[in-house]
Amino acid sequence: MQRMMVGVMLGALMWTTPGTAEPVYDVVIYGGTSAAVIAAAQTHEMGKTAVIVSPDTILGGMTSSGLGWTDSGNTAVIGGMARNFYHRIWQYYQQDEAWRWQDRESYGNRGQGTPAMDGDSRTMWTFEPHVAEAVFESIVDEYDIPVYRDEWLDRESGVTKRNGRIEAIMTLAGNTYQGRIFIDATYEGDLMAAAGVSYHVGREANSVYNETLNGIQKARAISHQFNYVVDPYIEPGDPESRLLPRIHDGDPGEDGEGDQRVQAYNFRMCLTKEPENRVPFPKPENYDPMQYELLGRYIEAGWRGMFNKFDPIPNAKTDTNNHGAFSTDNIGMNYDYPEASYEEREAIIREHREYQQGYFWYLANDPRVPEDIRNEMSQWGLARDEFVDSDHWPHQIYVREARRMLGDFVVTERHLRRLEPTPRPVGMGSYNMDSHNTQRYVAYDEEGRGHARNEGDIQINPGGPYPIDFGALVPRREECANLLVPVCVSSSHIAFGSIRMEPVFMILGQSAATAAAMAIDNDLAVQDVDYAALRERLLDDGQILEWKSDRRKDATDLTGIIMDHTEAEVLGDWIPSSVVGRFVGFHYLHDRNSDKGEASVRYTVAVPAPGRYEVRISYTAEPNRASNVPVTVYHAEGSTMAQVDQQRPPETEEPFYSLGVFAFDDTAVVIISNADTDGYVIADAVQILPE
């Protein structure tokens, strides 16, 4: 009923049942995610035919399955049809009748790092699941897109290829869909894998792509971590009594090593306290309080953060996500999911659902839980007017990561940090490099006593918005010449941790469809689409491909010879950052205020002719900076060392501090060191100016 009501407000809904497919579609899109719907709409905008073949019955993936507190990052870089989706959400909530359980004024306007309702841009970034679903259905109806639901790819023999191109796909129901170009818009990458395209599952070692945040992460796993010592054994203090459930007894591995583990999944819950719209938490049939004994001990030790991620969405509801060391993330129970059969995946999903149902039941009812927590949790429940076809439980599990394609271009942490170029951008991301915990294991203190510990959580800002290369969407030519992959993109684990946000999937879905149409028009392999033409069309359609900020300066906007730290020789453990402006390029480096005497940055700058030149360095001043940074200039008359107080802002109009004027024959060398410094050392850029 609720879906029908919203459909009337947004436009008629279209439901399609499987039947005889057209002989050949221009673009066949497999999947029912937000990327799938946007790709289909853009295909029609390009004057081509498209079909959505979806294993799901509900369109929109996580966007319509509880993730209503949008992981937006910097909304300025969300353009095109993705931005139009959030505009349609804004339009819906402008109607008084949209506010059934709460008035607009009492809702407030808090989103994730952005106003929930942005009146200036006429966008809205928080919403109810059924509203997102209805918006996707209105897009399907508007473009008259055929949608075949509950259609599961035959992963064993359902892909017909000839001469390196997919000709058709067949589903388990026996239906065949022929196309000229195919798009895999699933979270799992099933079509990509069945077509013989290379991919990776798990975490690469840091050494594979010269990264710092990939692989096993014990030292950096400080968020969603146990804040108290919690005994992991059934009989406290007795390792012989075996471990409590949901802790593994294996070696967690060493930091930076690769493994096949996958970050945790959960369901994003839509909860409410509204009595007339609240359904009490169901008790799962196989409820076992022992599964939550570790949580009980954590609460007993003092944990009280279980309500901290009940993020508000309209109509007195929440998007409730994981928070804390033991929460809705079902750590370690999804490793087999990416490669599992449909039946095996269903069992994994069922186990996740029972675990999460038991989690809420435990907190609301178990006498082990303190009364104040039980009373608070008992006031919450499932929203009666959401997920009406699945007992008010989200229909989509949050597959944060499964397969990732291995193309000729692999997006890595270095691309996100702008340490390596992205020559063919087709969209932008901006969210933190975000990996949820991946394993729960036993750590030991100095006396050898075991305690529970989580591993894998990373939440690091890449330094601002970054471009995503077209190469991330296309497989290697020899593997498939007519497939695009806008969800399971070619990227490392930690880079995907930022890319994997729903607005980005919509952005990449539009770009993939644009490239597909151009490949058809020019009878090309998708790898050979002319990037200049693709870029022009993407910009015409409102996609955002580059970003500038008042907080940073481009080298081309500055006078003299500029060398950024990205071109310098970097020794030691420096970290890119963009927290404090102003700086040159997209970030600066800091030395973590550690390993003193072991970190330096060497700038070697060619001068156009012998003569005297002023030498300047840029840095971002803050009270926690070092007041005695040694900077050495090597010049024609020898070397000069200066101590720079980086707590004091540079006095020039541009963000540079002058080291003086020196004679150079052909090369200027400037070295910034952290030897014997008394705070954070910053290395950004060097500027050389003729006297």
> Looking at residue 602, which CATH number applies to its domain?
2.60.120.260
Q: Quote the strand ranges of 549-673, DSSP E.
A: 552-553, 561-564, 569-571, 575-577, 583-584, 588-590, 600-606, 611-618, 629-635, 638-644, 656-664, 667-673
Between 17 and 203, the more confident residue is 203
Peptide bond into 476 cis (omega under 30): no
Query: Is residue 324, in this structure, part of any structural domain at all?
Result: yes
pLDDT of residue 537: 98
Contact yes or no for 615/660 (Cβ under 8 A): yes
The CA-CA-CA angle for residues 438, 443, 445, to 5°, reads 150
Mean pLDDT of 640-648: 95
Q: What is the domain count for the chain?
A: 2
Query: Is residue 31, in this structure, part of any structural domain at all?
Result: no
The last residue of one of the domains, among 357, 383, 409, is 383
pLDDT of residue 650: 84
Strand partners, 381: 272
Paired tokens of 358 = 């038991």
**Residue 145 main-chain phi, psi, to 5 deg:** -90, 125
Per-residue confidence at 667, pLDDT binned at 50, 70, 90? very high
Mean pLDDT of 228-234: 96
Average pLDDT over the chain, rounded to an integer: 94
Query: Is residue 538, in this structure, part of any structural domain at all?
Result: no
The last residue of one of the domains, among 383, 406, 421, is 383
Contact yes or no for 436/456 (Cβ under 8 A): yes
Query: Is residue 557, in this structure, part of any structural domain at all?
Result: yes
Which residue, 684, 622, 626, is CA-closest to 657? 684
pLDDT of residue 16: 37
The last residue of one of the domains, among 331, 360, 383, is 383
Give the DSSP letter string of 393-426: S-SS-B----EEE--SS-B-HHHHTTSS--SSEE
% of the chain with per-residue pLDDT over 90: 87
Paired tokens of 110 = 């808090």
Q: For residue 474, what are the CA distances in angstroms to 202, 260, 544?
A: 20, 23, 20
% of the chain with per-residue pLDDT over 70: 96
Mean pLDDT of 531-560: 89
Which residue, 156, 163, 162, 160, is CA-closest to 190? 156
Per-residue confidence at 61, pLDDT binned at 50, 70, 90? very high
Task: Judge whether residue 21 has pLDDT over 70.
Answer: no
pLDDT of residue 653: 64
pLDDT of residue 23: 64
Between 575 and 262, the more confident residue is 262
Mean pLDDT of 45-52: 98
Query: Is residue 672, in this structure, part of any structural domain at all?
Result: yes
Range of the domain at 347: 271-383
Per-residue confidence at 12, pLDDT binned at 50, 70, 90? very low
Amino acid at residue number 313: I
Mean pLDDT of 20-46: 91
Query: Is residue 495, in this structure, part of any structural domain at all?
Result: no
Query: Is residue 643, in this structure, part of any structural domain at all?
Result: yes
Amino acid at residue number 48: K
Would you say the C-alpha torsion 194, 195, 198, 204 has a positive or negative sign?
negative
- pLDDT tens by residue, 407-457: 999 999 999 998 899 999 999 999 999 999 999 999 999 888 999 999 999
- pLDDT tens by residue, 282-319: 999 999 999 999 999 999 999 999 999 999 999 999 99
Contact yes or no for 282/357 (Cβ under 8 A): yes
Q: Report the 10 Å Cβ neighbour count for 665.
A: 11
Q: Quote the strand ranges of 317-398, DSSP E.
A: 317-320, 381-383
Amino acid at residue number 496: F
Tokens 């729960």 appear where? 440
- Residue 405 CA, chain-centre distance (Å), reads 16
pLDDT of residue 582: 84
pLDDT of residue 110: 83
Task: Judge whether residue 458 has pLDDT over 60.
Answer: yes
pLDDT of residue 13: 33
Query: Is residue 451, in this structure, part of any structural domain at all?
Result: no
Contacts of 119 (CB under 8 A, 6+ apart): none
Task: Judge whether residue 9 has pLDDT over 60.
Answer: no
Paired tokens of 587 = 């970030």
Amino acid at residue number 261: R
